[in-house]
Amino acid sequence: MRTDASEADLTRVLEVIESQGFEPHVSRGVERTVVGVKGARERLNPDTYSGLRGVMQVVRVTAPHKLASREWKPQDSCIPVRDVQIGRGSLTFMAGPCAVEEREQLLEAARGVKAGGGQMLRGGAFKPRTSPYDFQGLGEEALKMLAEARDETGLPIVTEARSQAHVEVIERYADMIQIGARNMQNYDLLKEVGGCKTPVLLKRGISATIAELLMSAEYVLSSGNDNVVLCERGIRTFENATRFTLDVSAIPVLKEQTHLPVIIDPSHPAGRASYVPALARAGIAAGADGIIVEVHPDPSKAMCDAAQALSMETFAALVSQLKEIGAVLAKTETT
C-alpha cells in the first residue's frame, strides 16, 4: 500500500481479495503496510489489485506457470523424437538448411549432417519472412523432400509451423513441430500443437522474457502435449555487432525453473557463420541439451540466411568439440 493510503483504501482491498475467494493477510511495517494474498496461484491476477486506490505495487511470489515448473516435476524431462532422446544428460545436434530449396541439395545436406554426427535434420518448408517479397518456402513439396531425406538417413526431421493451417500437413510428414520465435505468443497456434501428439520445439521470442517462454510452454502442456523442448535463440538488445544477443544465462535459469530440455540455436543470433561455433560451444558449456544449427552444402548459394550457414566440414568439427565439452561437464557432475 502507498504511505498515503487510508484505512478505507485498505478495507476495500481486503474486500476485493475476499470477494474472489482468497485469504488476505495484513502486515504493518514502519513505513509500509503489506497485504498478502493466499490462494491458488493460477487464478491470481495482479491487475485486479494494482488498480485499486492506495495500492503501490503488486508482487507475485509464486510462479504463474505450473506444469512447466521444476517444483511440479523435480526430475529432468526426456523428450523422445523417434529413437532420439532429448534431455536428461544426452546432447542432441539438429542441423540442416534454413529453407528446403532443392531435392538433391537437401539430400546432400542430410548425408552431411548424418556423417558429421548430427542426430536430427532441420529444414524450413514454411518460412516466416520479414518482407512479403522474400522467398516463403516450398510448403508440402519441401515436407516430402524432408521425409525422403529421413527415410534415407534415418534422421528424424523438425520443421516450423508458421500457422495453424500448417499443423495437420506437418504432422503427416515431420517428427517434431517447431514454433518459431515470431509465433511464441501466437496462442491459438500453441493450443493447436498442444492438441497434437508430435513433440514441439518452442523457440523463445526475441523480446520474450524467460517467464513468458515458460507461460507459452504452459499453453502447450496444458492443452495435453507433454513433449516440449525449449530453444534459446537470441534476444533483441541495443548491440548490433551480432544479429541478436544470445542470452546464454537463460540456460542455467531455465534449468533451475523447469524440467523441460533446453537447446540453443547459435545461427540466428550470430548472423554470420564465423561466430556460430563460439556460440554453440558457449551454449553447451552453459548446460544446454543440444543445438539446432544451420548448415548448407554450399553456404554461398543458400537462398536465405546464407551468411550464417556452416559448411559440412565446420559442422563435423564443431560436433566433435561439443561432445568433448559435454564430457567435461558430465564428468564433474557425477563426481
Residues between 248 and 267 that touch its own copies (CB under 8 A): 248-253, 255-256
Verify binding: residue 238, its own copies, rule CB under 8 A: yes
Picking from 106, 112, 90, 109, the residue whose alpha carbon sits closest to that of residue 144 is 106
Nearer to its own copies, 83 or 239 (CB): 239
In the complex, the smallest distance separating the C-beta of residue 11 from its own copies, rounded to whole angstroms, is: 14
The only residue of 8, 115, 278, 330 in contact with its own copies, by rule CB under 8 A: 278
Nearer to its own copies, 6 or 209 (CB): 209
In the complex, the smallest distance separating the C-beta of residue 225 from its own copies, rounded to whole angstroms, is: 12
In whole angstroms, what is the distance from residue 113 CA to residue 154 CA? Answer: 11
Verify binding: residue 75, its own copies, rule CB under 8 A: no
In the complex, the smallest distance separating the C-beta of residue 151 from its own copies, rounded to whole angstroms, is: 29
The only residue of 80, 168, 195, 274 in contact with its own copies, by rule CB under 8 A: 274
Q: Tell me how crowded residue 81 is: count the other CB atoms within 10 A of its CB.
A: 22
The DSSP symbol for 77 reads P
Nearer to its own copies, 84 or 220 (CB): 220
What residues have CB less than 8 Å from 150, skipping those under 6 apart? 110, 121, 156, 157, 175
The only residue of 78, 107, 169, 317 in contact with its own copies, by rule CB under 8 A: 317
Burial of 101 (0-12, 13-18, 19+ CB in 10 A): buried
Which phi-psi region, left, alpha or beta, contains residue 131 (left: φ > 0; alpha: ψ -120 to 50)? beta
Picking from 79, 70, 88, the residue whose alpha carbon sits closest to that of residue 333 is 88
> How many residues interact with its own copies (rule CB under 8 A)?
115
The only residue of 275, 290, 291, 295 in contact with its own copies, by rule CB under 8 A: 275
Nearer to its own copies, 124 or 156 (CB): 124
Applying the rule CB under 8 A, the residues between 122 and 181 that interact with its own copies are 128-134, 136, 162-165
Mind giving me the DSSP string for 90-148? B-EEEEE-SB---HHHHHHHHHHHHHTT-SEEE-BSS---SSTTS----THHHHHHHHH
Verify binding: residue 88, its own copies, rule CB under 8 A: no
In the complex, the smallest distance separating the C-beta of residue 44 from its own copies, rounded to whole angstroms, is: 9
What residues have CB less than 8 Å from 53, skipping those under 6 apart? 5, 9, 12
Verify binding: residue 183, its own copies, rule CB under 8 A: yes
The only residue of 45, 80, 89, 224 in contact with its own copies, by rule CB under 8 A: 45
Verify binding: residue 330, its own copies, rule CB under 8 A: no
Nearer to its own copies, 84 or 280 (CB): 280
Strand 79-81 versus strand 84-86 pairing type: antiparallel
